[in-house]
Amino acid sequence: MNNVNVPKEVNTYCPKCKHHTVHTVSLYKAGKRRALAVGERAHAREKEGYGGQKYALQHTFAKTTKKQTLRLKCKTCSYMYHKDGIRLRKLALV
């Protein structure tokens, strides 16, 4: 699948309401990394100095697409959940 059109609103099952309701669809994006977070600082410390790289950096990739995760928000209870990502070249919300 290359180009997929996804409707902005879908009628689907809400796990909280326990029946079908209208959901707004948006695209999930990972949040911005906080440079001062504990894990981020620990990782930076580990990478310091000679032999600091803990794993081989991947330069060539077999896959040409990334998994796109859909974020569904129930319009009645505003419960938000994610739908499993599928590999797409282009996803358009229509």
CA distances from 40 to 10, 32, 36, 47 (A): 38, 12, 7, 11
16 in contact with Zn ion (CB under 5 A): yes
The number of residues that bind Zn ion (CB under 5 A) is 7
Measured at CB, which residue is nearest to Zn ion? Answer: 74
CB of residue 76 vs Zn ion: minimum separation in angstroms?
Answer: 5
Q: Which stretch binds Zn ion (CB under 5 A): 24-32, 38-46, 48-56, 77-85?
A: 77-85
Q: Which residues contact 21 (CB under 8 A, 6 or more apart)?
A: 11, 12, 14, 74, 75, 76, 77
Q: Does 17 bind Zn ion (CB under 5 A)?
A: yes
